[in-house]
């Protein structure tokens, strides 16, 4: 990976997706959440294509979608396959990581969110409380999930 490479990491969830754009040396350029209501993969893909056009990344990072043991929903698995197709046709490098890759490197979602906030203070407004087992996941988690994907890529380069 070249030092000037831009990495766009996308982490789909139940509302749309979280994304981050970082450089190969870990500088955070942009981040956010993209909500698509009513939820449909077509709407999400159109939003994703807009990000590709806007940022022109060298690398796109997503979750692996071809693992049988993963608890990923069929909708998200299908979405990731479609993202794979779009990225491949664009000539952009695609890297995917397992959820376990993130956990091995950073621990739980709350743990890595807290450590990322210490590195990137601009993420402080997106901090979320520890989740109880019966509570739904906080909507801001998507940003930290996408950042974790990107930083796994940087760490393994």
What's the average model confidence in pLDDT over 21-49?
A: 92
Number of domain units in the chain: 1
- pLDDT attached to residue 38: 81
- pLDDT attached to residue 72: 79
**Domain range enclosing 58:** 6-156
- C-alpha closest to that of 62 among 142, 154, 5, 146: 146
CATH of the domain at 133: 3.30.420.10
For residue 21, is it within any domain? yes
Taking only the tens place, the pLDDT of each residue in 125-137 is 998 888 788 877 7
- C-alpha closest to that of 85 among 65, 55, 57, 56: 65
For residue 148, is it within any domain? yes
Percent of the chain predicted with pLDDT > 90: 56
- pLDDT attached to residue 115: 92
Question: How far is the C-alpha of 141 from the C-alpha of 126, rounded, in Å?
Answer: 8
Give the H or E element holding residue 79.
helix 74-90
For residue 1, is it within any domain? no
Query: What's the pTM?
Result: 0.91
């Amino acid at each position: 990976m070249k030092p000037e490479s831009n990495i766009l990491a996308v982490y789909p969830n139940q509302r749309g997706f979280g994304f981050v754009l970082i450089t190969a040396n870990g500088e955070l350029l942009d981040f956010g959440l993209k909500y698509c209501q009513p939820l449909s993969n077509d709407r999400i893909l159109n939003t994703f294509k807009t990000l590709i056009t806007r940022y022109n990344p060298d690398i796109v990072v997503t979750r692996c979608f071809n693992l049988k043991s993963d608890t990923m929903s069929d909708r998200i698995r299908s979405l990731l396959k479609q993202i794979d197709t779009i990225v491949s046709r664009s000539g952009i490098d695609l890297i995917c990581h397992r959820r376990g890759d993130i956990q091995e490197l950073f621990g739980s979602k709350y743990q890595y969110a807290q450590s990322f906030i210490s590195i990137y203070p601009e993420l402080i407004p997106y901090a979320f409380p520890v989740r109880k087992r019966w509570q739904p996941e906080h909507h801001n988690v998507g940003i930290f999930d996408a950042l974790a994907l990107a930083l796994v890529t940087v760490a393994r380069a």
